[in-house]
Amino acid sequence: MRTRIKELRARYDYTQEDLARKVGVRRETIHFIEKGNYNPSLKLAHKIAEILKTSIDELFIFDDI
């Protein structure tokens, strides 16, 4: 799974730390999600999408579907 988190963070000038604080996780969690090393829970994916004003479908790209 790939994500557009980094691209969308840039749109709002958010650092990984900023986004992490807004969704209630550590910066490393955002880093691992962006690198594709961690699949977030649906709840966390929803929070990230909400903060970045997008949908989960637009935020995450599923290669194996």
How far apart CA 65 and CA 54 sit, in angstroms, is 21
CATH of 2-59, one of 1.10.287.3510, 1.10.260.40, 3.40.50.1000, 3.40.50.300: 1.10.260.40
Q: How many CA atoms lie within 13 A of 41 on its CB side?
A: 6
Q: Where are the domains of the chain?
A: 2-59
> pLDDT per residue over 17-61, tens digit each?
999 999 999 999 999 999 999 999 999 999 999 999 999 999 998
Amino acid in the structure at residue 7: E
Amino acid in the structure at residue 56: I
Average pLDDT over every residue of 3-14: 96
> Do 33 and 19 contact (CB within 8 A), yes or no?
no
Task: Kindly indicate the confidence band of residue 64, based on its pLDDT and cuts at 50, 70 and 90.
Answer: low
